Structure 1
Amino acid sequence: MRTDPPPLPSHPSAEDEVLAGLRRRLLREAVAALPGRCPQLVAALAEDPPPTYRELSHRLGMPRGSIGPTRARCLACLRALLRTERYA
């Protein structure tokens, strides 16, 4: 019985890599442009694995109960910022 060889892994094109790098740079710039503690909070939440709210509370000096609402406001602000002409 003859079997076909497994497909070769596809590699992103140079154009795809450049565009991905541009998207990462624009996202970093947008996060840095956020107000207050948002840049630190958003960056921490993007860590792998993300820190617990207890760790965030200690690291950022904010009550655990305010992390969720602050996170929601920061992400809403980030979405709005990314919709602007500069980042679109």
Structure 2
Amino acid sequence: MCTNLPSVRSAEDEVFAELRRRLVREAVAALPGRCPELVAALAEDPPPTYREIAERLGMPRGSIGPTRARCLACLRVLLHAERYA
């Protein structure tokens, strides 16, 4: 089996992938408070350190993890609701 061959995605796969990306972007934008900025920072490549995020968002470094957990839980709820809307 050849493992070095590039994967070929169909046009349909590309359309659905773009739709998923758009739905996630919209759900992130709909998050409350600092969540959109926090989720966006955590999705950067490479992600900034918690210290950098704390400085950027003006929040205590120790609150980033718990806030992240709440934001991602809320994001899951929004995406789940969108899936079944």
Q: Please tell me whether residue 80 in structure 1 is matched to residue 77 in structure 2.
A: yes
Write 1 or 2 for the structure with the bigger share of helix: 2
Structure 1 stretches of at least 4 aligned residues deviating more than 2 Å after TM superposition? 5-10
2:51 equivalent in structure 1: 54
* Structure 2: tracts of 5 or more residues without a match: none
Count, aligned residues: 82
The TM-score normalised by the length of structure 2 is 0.90
| Alpha-carbon distance in 2 for matches of 1:10, 1:74 | 33
Task: Answer with 1 or 2: which has the greater Rg.
Answer: 1
% identical aligned pairs: 79
Seen in structure 2, the aligned counterparts of structure 1 residues 12 and 55 have a Cα distance that, compared at 3 Å, is same
Match of residue 29, structure 1, among 19, 26, 31: 26
Could you say what the CA RMSD is over the residues aligned between the two structures, in angstroms?
1.6
Residue 10 of structure 1 deviates from its aligned partner by 3.0
| Alpha-carbon distance in 2 for matches of 1:82, 1:71 | 16
* Structure 1: tracts of 5 or more residues without a match: none
The TM-score normalised by the length of structure 1 is 0.87
